[in-house]
Structure 1
Amino acid sequence: MTETVRGTPAWLRATNDRTALGLLLQHGPLTRNRLGELSGLSKPTAAQMVARLEGAGLIRVDGEISGGRGPNAVSYAVRADRVLGVAVDVSSTGITATVVDATGAEHPVAELPLAPDAARSAVSDVRGAIAAACDAAGIRTDAVRLVCIGVQAAVAQRADELTFTDTLPGWPTTGIRAHLEEQLGVSVTLDNDANLAAVAERAAGSAEEVDGFALLWMGEGLGLAIDVSGRIYRGASGGSGEIGYLPVPSEGLALDPDAPTLTEFFGASAWARLQAAPDPVAALAERVALGLVPVLAVLDPERIVLGGPTGREGGERLAALVAERLATGTQWRPDVVATAVPSHPVLRGAREVLIADVHSRLFEDVARLQP
């Protein structure tokens, strides 16, 4: 594609078209007059933008809006089916998936059981997830162009490698993204499940207004996602936040001498054992506070969000007790809160990633429009 020279009529048309598409993505259906008002452009220019975008199949007529006196005004909307994605969460207990479109509309969440370990592969897991999500949403699988997958593993995105893949039998540890793209014919993004949960927390959870935070994921395993000014820090090899492998501090061994790592200390198995304690949540809070000390010493985050199945179950009481123990036993005073993402946090984070990717693809399509 030839680069458009700034200041030329072609550059101005492309700029106006991007503006119109951005406004439709931001506000939803708009009339030509309203597009002109929001963009600051004249009615004839707004009409030309709409004609170009509609002719290219990027927008469609959405309906009519009554303006009182005179004929009804036609409203236009971005075509939700122009670029579609599927968000996928591959966990140790099952697979969930949902379709994602440019509008960010909610589509049904499909749930799939895991195949036996010997029958699993990355391609079969993801292909099945795409098919189930599309079936639930009533669309064809060949309409999908993008997939974002959350996995319980460390993801080195540049090297295209996976490590800590205990829950992914049959998945290759090298060349995974390239392998999936070749076999499935879609663009693939992979990320750690806790990282995607943190993306969801930043977008619509307990961390919308803070500069940075750490999300402690507590479930079958443990994970830590680190948000720095809205960007996830993944480390050189994608292994940042794999705190479940850290040894239990000496103070913790007095509580549980049979727990060599933090996963055994306050992961799902420990939480199950603590149900026999007089106050299971208080007992868990003591362990979580001890496990967070290395995080606080290295990162000193403004806020810590307790997520994952155990974090959700413990709720605000667990968060308050962890904050209390940190305040009385350490030098740090972070704000500790429970997750506010209502359900499917990994899937919701993958949706946020895909919505941004879908929008980017649409803007690329605008840039290719011919005058």
Structure 2
Amino acid sequence: MFSFSSIATSRQITLRSVMRILLDRRGISRAELARLTGLSKQTMSEVFRDLEMEGWVQMSGRTQGGVGRSAATYEVCADRALVFGADVGGTKIQAAIADMHGVVLSEIVEPTDARGGEHVIAQLARMNQVLAERANLPSERVLVGTIGIPGAYDERSGTLLMVPNIAGLEGSQFAAWLARSVAFEVHVGNDVNMAAKGEQWLGKGRDVDNFVFIALGTGIGMGIINERRVLRGSRGAAGEISTLPIGASAYDGRTFWAGALETMIGSAAIRGRYEGGGGLPGLTVRQIIDRVGDGDRIAIATLDEVARTLAEAILAVSAVVDPERIIMGGSIGARPELLERVQHYLPLCMATPPTCTISQLGSRAGLYGTLANSLDILRKGLFQTPELDVPMLSARSLEAAQ
């Protein structure tokens, strides 16, 4: 991927090594690059000739201070390659393109095409074109795209599963469909997994190797970061905690599709419990939680029960993946009134509970996660040869191979 067919494999490996340093360290001289990589000045000059000819690097300034002449410093042409990310929901699509440093260049939000299926595919392809035009860049520079979908994506079969909110996508070959409409490499992930990836990149998960992101709103889902990697499972369904047998019987046929846990703490369950307890009819979940601060006893009891049940779910999750931190999001999960109660119940049901916090990225976590995933793939694939997927070797070995 992204290789120069006219350049030998060993040189492509060297280019890959140099590019990774340039991506991590902006404004660096050739001499410093040679010192860091162990490459000779001659080899470094040849590498820069290749990179400059293809528009990957540019001069950024000159070194200052110290003894002797100043030296030119170089940086990556960040918009030489772009990534696309889209968080697809049942009602709206958030999409953006970013450069190689992860800087968002353009962003767009549109209602999800209600016709679903191929119409959503066409919508995503069009949004990519619009984003490139708004950034005043050719869409051909978009090399990798990641789509977050509210469902499970089986990478082995390329099949999208468990997508009840978007018509025509259940059982579809979503990635293959989209790949026929765009010029970039397409990847698909569960939307909550992508939100967890976003938290790892820019949110409350930046300093944690093991954490989970729990999204609670209309339904409930979870993304797992285990040893700094997204845990997907065999069918892409890891983290579907809505089906945990907590709060309701797993053998009750009424819970098969929504899941036992979701039938107890999802938005419909909260409204039902509140009205069933004698609360005012017709209120939204937001209004019900707002009434907690006003001293509404039925609203307080309702949220207490939701928090107690969620704490039990966190206990079950902790027994399996042992997260250091729980990051909560979604229209209900982001409410501080719920967090306060979950923090109260956790020490009552487990000896060493993980810390709990609320996402600061809000509804943008999923979008950021798709961009982060695309950036990871882009960086891994830079100058990768089709003959050999070679991990980074030592610079001395790289030079010796030439």
TM-score range for the pair, normalised by the shorter chain length: 0.7 to 0.9
Partner of 1:4: none
* Residues 13, 384 of structure 2: 8 Å contact kept: no
In terms of mean alpha carbon deviation, does 96-105 or 127-136 score higher?
127-136
Aligned length in residues: 352
Partner of 1:255: none
Partner of 1:310: 332
Structure 1 residue matching 2:106: 3-state secondary structure: coil
> Alpha-carbon deviation of 1:120?
6.2
Give the structure-2-normalised TM-score. Answer: 0.76
Q: Which of 168, 174, 191 lines up with 2:189 in the alignment?
A: 191
* Residues 122, 181 of structure 2: 8 Å contact kept: no
> Alpha-carbon deviation of 1:140?
2.7
Partner of 2:311: 289
The residue type equivalent to 2:101 in the other structure is T
* Residues 150, 191 of structure 1: 8 Å contact kept: yes
Alpha-carbon distance in 1 for matches of 2:36, 2:214: 41
Q: 1:43 to 1:90 in 2, by over 3 A?
A: same
The residue type equivalent to 2:45 in the other structure is A
Partner of 1:85: 83
Matches within 5 A, 1:1-371: 16-64=14-62, 73-117=71-115, 121-171=119-169, 173-246=171-244, 248-249=246-247, 261-269=260-268, 270=270, 271-272=285-286, 274-275=288-289, 276-277=291-292, 278=296, 279=300, 282=304, 284-312=306-334, 314-315=335-336, 318-331=338-351, 333-341=353-361, 344-364=364-384
> Alpha-carbon deviation of 1:146?
1.7
Q: 1:208-232: per-residue Cα shift (whole Å, max 9, x none)?
A: 3334222211233211112221122
Alpha-carbon distance in 2 for matches of 1:175, 1:27: 39
* Residues 161, 175 of structure 1: 8 Å contact kept: yes
Q: 1:343 to 1:70 in 2, by over 3 A?
A: farther
Q: 1:367 to 1:26 in 2, by over 3 A?
A: farther
Q: 1:316-337: per-residue Cα shift (whole Å, max 9, x none)?
A: x643431220211345522222
The residue type equivalent to 1:54 in the other structure is E
The residue type equivalent to 2:349 in the other structure is G
* Residues 304, 335 of structure 1: 8 Å contact kept: yes
Q: 1:256-286: per-residue Cα shift (whole Å, max 9, x none)?
A: xxx9843343234434473344347656423
Alpha-carbon distance in 1 for matches of 2:315, 2:242: 13
> Alpha-carbon deviation of 1:84?
1.9
The residue type equivalent to 2:341 in the other structure is L
Structure 1 residue matching 2:80: 3-state secondary structure: coil
* Residues 195, 232 of structure 1: 8 Å contact kept: yes
The residue type equivalent to 1:133 in the other structure is L
* Residues 116, 166 of structure 2: 8 Å contact kept: no
Segments of 5+ residues of structure 1 without an aligned counterpart are: 2-9, 252-258
> Alpha-carbon deviation of 1:237?
1.3
Q: 1:7-61: per-residue Cα shift (whole Å, max 9, x none)?
A: xxx7875554333212111112322233234334454443333223213432233
Q: 1:318 to 1:295 in 2, by over 3 A?
A: same
The residue type equivalent to 2:377 in the other structure is D
Cα RMSD, aligned residues only: 3.3
